Structure 1
Amino acid sequence: METMSEPSTVPGPSPEVERQRRQALRRHKAFVTALLGVAAAIFLACSWWQTQPGGAPAWVGYVRAAAEAGMVGGLADWFAVTALFRHPLGIPIPHTALIPRKKDQLGTALSGFVGENFLNPQLITEKVAGAQVPEKIGAWLSQEDNAAIVSREVGRFTGKAVRAIDPADAEAIINSQFIARLAEPEWGPHAGRMLQGLIDDGKTEPVVEAIITWTRERVGGAEDTIVSLIDERMPQWAPRFARDLVGERVYREVVAFLEDIDNDPDHEARHGIRRFIAQLADDLQHDPTMIARVESIKDDIMGSRAVRGAGASIWQAVSQALIDAAEDPDSLLRAKVREMCVHWGKRIQSDPELRASLDRRITGAVRFLAENYSGEVTAIISETVHRWDAREASDKIELMVGKDLQFIRLNGTIVGALAGLVIYTVNQILFGA
């Protein structure tokens, strides 16, 4: 775990941007330093000229005074700018290298400044309340193009979220929360109660019809099989034609019997099927033997390879379906998101009560966050600055603002020269040469 005493790398721009900034900073430093050198050269040249036999013209004094003052002003501002980031000329003069030495205090001060002026609960709540956020959200969402943007981003987020889920974790959840829970209760009583409910609601008649229809279809296509089966059961001494006649007669009787059942809604066979279903519902609920038999079937099903691998198969199918729907602009999911955005955008615009409710919720949430978490947010600033390496932080800050600070040196040189010229001129006017 990183401690406060362990310096961390100061975040910064990309290497290419940093290279460009360093080049710009060097150019500005070189230009301002060259200007200071020009002032020094002019001062020395004027001083030399004035010491020559016969002296120098009067205007040389004005130039010399301007160059001297410009040189002093440039040097003073060079010292001030340099003292922010390092010791001038490497000399540890008091109150220099301010940023490296005062880094932690600056971080604390910046943290307090942000907390007092930007994350103040009253101030930020007033700003949010006056920003008419619900109206802007409604106007933005009601536009089809913006709804498409939301739909696209929701799809992108959904696809990434689904891909980020570990299939093994998803399979474990499906197995533990769905498949395992499916095997926990006894199936017999539940199935019996469901069947009893269908009987009470009169919903089992389709089952009766399905049984009769299925039986007729099977018997209708099994004439040869039935006749052959009866023929095999007849005594071997019986004549061949007698066996064929018996088989055909039995088959016709069976077909006629099934036709009677099919045509007579009140046929006794139908009542028999209904009694069988009712008895099955009762046995599933109360007969220990039937319940045990169903449990045995359940154990076989739940222990089968198909069920054991169902979690992986289910997740693979569901996840792929979600990803396809999320990434397809024409999918039902994306279309519904677009429709909801437009619908809610128009509703927010047309419903004053909804806008007022949203405004209260937004401002309430902002106030809650500002009152309870502004300290944590501002603490990030101070803690981050505290972890920075002092020299690296100073270098990064100079890289960000150093180019602009060079204009202070430039202005110091120019303003100093003008001030020196004015002072020298006033002195000449008042006291003469």
Structure 2
Amino acid sequence: MSLFQRVPRPGDAVPQPLRRMRLIATGLLVAMACLFLAARWMEARHGGGWGYVQAFAEAAMVGGLADWFAVTALFRHPLGLPIPHTAIVPRNKDRIGDTLAVFLKDNFLTPGVVARRMQHIDVARAAGRWLSDPPGGSGGRLRYGASRLAADLLESLDPERLGGMVKGALSSQLRALRIAPLLGQAMEAAIADGRHAPLLDGIIRWASRILESNQHLIRAMVHDRAGSILRWTGLDETLANKIIDGLERLVEEMAEDPTHPLRLKAEEGLARLATDLQNDAEAQAKVEAFKAELLDNPALGDWWQGVWETARAGMLRMARDPDAMMAGRLGDAMRQLGGTLQSDPALARTINRFVRRAAVGAAADYGDAIVRLVSDTVRGWDTRTITGRLENAVGRDLQYIRVNGTLVGGLVGLVIHAVDVGL
């Protein structure tokens, strides 16, 4: 540690390389002082070449002391004396912060500079490579950090309020959506492709089961409406059996014959309904009224709340276990997206253009705020903080200046002594 420099207080964190270079520079200065004293003593008694050694050591001391003064004056008053134009960094802390902020803005945060730099950065392909094969080191930390952030965010939000917000947004979208034309188009496309046949088959099977389970109702209705003579002769039971048999045969024929007249009538009715849903205002109004009634039903709200809680619990489980999430379908989708970003030049160009414009826009809109943050941060530092940080950053190189000054000063002194002796 230099005898001429301030001893660091306990709060200072002096890097080991800087401490070592201080010792070397100070040790060299002390060595030159010792060499000067020894050469002076030897030159007085023996003469000869000791004068050259004395001149070298004397000039080296002068150079070393001068450079020590210059280096120390950057950060503090040498020997604690308030010499003018010393402690340059502490006295000009605010101006340094402003200059640094202007330098950052003019050389890094102008839209033109950002645009030129972003032209050489392929964000899309880099993201694609990361998604396709995320590294286990920094990528793993990023994944786990993002998952913890997502889990903490979901847990911090009010479940009821968040669910209500999502439910409200979904309800608003459904109320604004005209469902009738969409249903009509879907039905029309299904009929054109023959996809309505399973629906009709299902309706016919349903009708058959209903008929089978309600035969007693048909028999009771025929019995109640038949005359007394029919009931006395038992013909009401025969008539009921005939009606049930006829209905069963009709349903069976409709199920077996795709060209049955009643089945064709049903298809014709479905086609007419599809047309009305797309074009008839009255039919559309009925569908909208049914939709509004369904959305206003409290039972739907209770059902949605259960769905939301289930979805929220699932998202929390996924967020807490990012490895399982990336190993499932979501992971497959992310890897597929990564492959697409690497293999689709058009998509990559679109994403890179978007990122470039976003970066340029951020530089244009927030460049002043960023540099003002730098300036205000430096202004907010106390003198000891900024002095310590700057000295720790460049102090090692400044100690080399002291070493060079000592050696160069000694060589210059040696040359001057040689010239003086020669003359």
Same fold per superposition (TM over 0.5): yes
Q: CA deviation at 1:307?
A: 4.4
Paired residue for 1:380? 373
| Alignment of 1:331 onto 2:324 | no
Q: Distance in 2 between matches of 1:332 and 1:326?
A: 12
Paired residue for 2:20? 27
Using the size of structure 2 for normalisation, the TM-score is 0.68
> In structure 2, what residue type is equivalent to 1:302?
A
Structure 2 vs 1, CA of residues 35 and 296 (structure 1 numbering), >3 Å: closer, same or farther? closer
Number of equivalent positions? 388
Q: Distance in 2 between matches of 1:366 and 1:295?
A: 45
| Alignment of 1:312 onto 2:302 | no
Within 5 Å, give how 1:29-428 maps onto structure 2.
29-50=22-43, 55-129=45-119, 131=120, 133=121, 147-149=132-134, 159=147, 162-163=150-151, 164-165=153-154, 166=157, 168=159, 170-179=162-171, 209-218=201-210, 220=212, 250=240, 254-263=244-253, 265-266=260-261, 301-302=298-299, 305-317=302-314, 327-348=324-345, 367-428=360-421
Q: CA deviation at 1:96?
A: 0.7
> In structure 2, what residue type is equivalent to 1:173?
M
Q: Is the 2:342–2:348 contact (alpha carbons within 8 Å) kept by the matching residues of 1?
A: no
Q: Distance in 1 between matches of 2:196 and 2:77?
A: 95
- Report which stretch shifted further, 200-209 or 69-78: 200-209
What secondary structure sits across from 2:73 in the alignment? helix
How many percent identity over aligned positions? 27
- Report which stretch shifted further, 73-82 or 198-207: 198-207
Gapped runs of 5+ residues in structure 1?
1-14, 234-241
- 1:283-324 CA deviation, whole Å, 9 max, x = no partner? xx69x9999999888755437744454432343346657887
Q: Is the 2:61–2:410 contact (alpha carbons within 8 Å) kept by the matching residues of 1?
A: yes
What secondary structure sits across from 1:58 in the alignment? coil
Q: Is the 1:228–1:247 contact (alpha carbons within 8 Å) kept by the matching residues of 2?
A: yes
> In structure 1, what residue type is equivalent to 2:86?
T
Q: CA deviation at 1:385?
A: 1.2
Q: Distance in 2 between matches of 1:145 and 1:292?
A: 50
Q: Distance in 2 between matches of 1:39 and 1:402?
A: 22
RMSD: 5.3
- Report which stretch shifted further, 317-326 or 55-64: 317-326
Structure 2 vs 1, CA of residues 251 and 322 (structure 1 numbering), >3 Å: closer, same or farther? farther
Paired residue for 2:228? none
Structure 2 vs 1, CA of residues 332 and 306 (structure 1 numbering), >3 Å: closer, same or farther? closer
Paired residue for 2:230? none
Q: CA deviation at 1:25?
A: 2.2
Q: Is the 1:171–1:315 contact (alpha carbons within 8 Å) kept by the matching residues of 2?
A: no
- 1:143-175 CA deviation, whole Å, 9 max, x = no partner? x7773339x789768745643333625313222
Using the size of structure 1 for normalisation, the TM-score is 0.67
Q: CA deviation at 1:101?
A: 0.8
Structure 2 vs 1, CA of residues 325 and 194 (structure 1 numbering), >3 Å: closer, same or farther? farther
Structure 2 vs 1, CA of residues 364 and 251 (structure 1 numbering), >3 Å: closer, same or farther? same
